[in-house]
């Protein structure tokens, strides 16, 4: 099989063996995988002296099931998430904790965003918002877009901002989301809609490492409000404002409980439902439910697709900052199994 890797800050397509199925795993023939520019650009930049497989969100058809698999069968479509099990590769061997069967009325391309959707859902769970509260989302890349749509579906008061007008325009048809490409106008809306109390939470989905947004975000929240770091920003908060508001600073790590735990992922042992309600696997399923029930519209995010053979060049463009890609779907050729 072929897969896409980063090596010495270059992107290549290489050949590898099709993995053998294991008892608690399924073997998937990939149909679509989603490019996550922020994450994957960071991986490419940090690939000096090593080889790293790119990608983490995909969907495809089950071609073989391990002995312990009972929830899907050969021929079923599944969405899956989580490197190194999920990548831009023609075949994926995925543990039962990291995939979910795709509902009949969910488009294949929509399903390919399931991993990014799980990350968006977990970010909102970390914020611990209640019905009717105000959330500010700064940075409208693919992750910020999904967070805004899901927050709106949950009936939060959603205020968003991105300096790129083409990104704010993508949310124009989402009734209820307030969209700004100007920080000052966004600040005015926060004060107006909260009666000058400030937002309950700010989710920072932008990049930029040491960004002034970390400082500014404290001005936008209410007393005892929350700031959640979602994007590639290094937290650097002024103590005085943080202390005076008793602000809660939170980090959202990937798609939820279970991520990076070898017992949950490698060994495919789920956490007890009554003790850990929302795992990364259950967040994948929740994304599929939201799309299935048409609670969110992700069609604006899946308009661009490329063939597998063009993917390496697309990543080169991404690395050279010659594209403002929000996301693209990689289409894998399908042959008889």
Mean per-residue pLDDT over the chain, rounded: 93
Q: What percent of the chain has pLDDT over 70?
A: 97
Is residue 337 scored above 60 in pLDDT?
Answer: no
Give the residue-averaged pLDDT of 64-77: 97
Give mean pLDDT, residues 293-316.
Answer: 92
pTM of the model: 0.94
Contact 128, 248 (CB under 8 A): no
Give the mean pLDDT of 66-89.
97
Q: Domains in the chain, please, with CATH?
A: 2-113+257-331 (3.90.180.10), 122-251 (3.40.50.720)
Reported as a single tens digit per residue, the pLDDT across 1-10 is 999 999 999 9
What average pLDDT score do residues 292-314 get? 93
pLDDT at 235 over 60: yes
Confidence of residue 237 (pLDDT cuts 50, 70, 90): confident
For 163-187, the pLDDT digits (tens) are: 999 999 999 889 999 999 999 999 9
pLDDT at position 241 is 82
pLDDT digits (tens, 9 = 90+) for 255-290: 999 999 999 999 999 999 999 999 999 999 999 999
pLDDT digits (tens, 9 = 90+) for 80-126: 999 999 999 999 999 999 999 998 899 999 999 999 999 999 999 99
CA 161 to chain centre: 18
Of 257, 253, 191, the closest CA to residue 222 belongs to 191
3-state SS, one letter per residue, for the chain: CEEEEEECCEEEEEECCCCCCCCCEEEEEEEEEECCHHHHHHHHHCCCCCEEECCCEEEEEEEEECCCCCCCCCCCEEEEECCCCCCCECEEEEEHHHEEECCCCCCHHHHHCHHHHHHHHHHHHHHCCCCCCEEEEECCCHHHHHHHHHHHHCCCEEEEECCCHHHHHCCCCCCCEEEECCHHHHHHHHHHHCCCCCEEEEEECCCCECCCHHHHHHHHEEEEEEEEECCCECCCCCHHHHHHHCCEEEECCCCCCCCCCCCCCCCCCCCCCCCCCCCHHHHHHHHHHHHHCCCCCCHHHCCCEEEHHHHHHHHHHHHCCCCCCCCCEEECCCCCC
Given a cut of 80, whether residue 209 has pLDDT beyond it is no
């Amino acid at each position: 099989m072929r897969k896409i890797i980063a090596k010495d800050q270059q992107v290549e397509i290489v050949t590898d063996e099709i993995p053998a199925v294991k008892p608690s795993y399924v073997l998937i023939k990939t149909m679509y995988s989603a490019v996550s520019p922020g994450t994957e650009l960071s991986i490419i930049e940090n690939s000096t002296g090593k080889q790293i497989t790119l990608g983490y969100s995909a969907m495809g058809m089950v071609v073989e099931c391990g002995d312990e698999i009972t929830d899907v069968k050969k021929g079923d479509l599944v969405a899956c998430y989580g490197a190194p099990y999920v990548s831009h590769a023609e075949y994926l061997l995925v543990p039962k904790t990291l995939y979910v069967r795709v509902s009949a009325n969910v488009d294949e391309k929509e399903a390919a965003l399931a991993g990014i959707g799980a990350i968006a859902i977990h970010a909102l769970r970390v914020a611990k918002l209640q019905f009717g509260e105000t959330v500010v989302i700064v940075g409208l890349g693919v992750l910020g877009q999904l967070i805004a749509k899901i927050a709106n579906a949950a009936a939060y008061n959603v205020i968003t901002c991105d300096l790129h007008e083409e990104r704010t325009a993508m949310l124009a048809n989402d009734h209820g989301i307030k969209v700004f490409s100007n920080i000052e106008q966004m600040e005015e809306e926060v004060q107006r809609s909260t009666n000058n109390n400030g937002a309950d939470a700010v989710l920072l989905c932008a990049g930029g490492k040491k960004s002034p947004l970390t400082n500014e975000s404290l001005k936008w929240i209410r007393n005892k409000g929350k700031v959640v770091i979602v994007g590639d920003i290094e937290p650097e908060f002024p103590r005085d404002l943080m202390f005076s508001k008793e602000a809660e600073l939170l980090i959202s790590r990937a798609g939820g409980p279970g991520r990076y735990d070898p017992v949950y992922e490698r060994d495919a042992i789920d956490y007890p439902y009554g003790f850990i309600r929302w795992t990364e696997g259950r967040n994948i399923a929740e994304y599929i439910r939201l799309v299935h029930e048409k609670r969110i519209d992700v069609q604006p995010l899946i308009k661009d697709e490329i063939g597998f053979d063009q993917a390496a060049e697309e990543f080169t463009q991404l690395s050279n900052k010659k594209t403002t890609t929000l996301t693209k779907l990689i289409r894998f050729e399908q042959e008889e199994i």
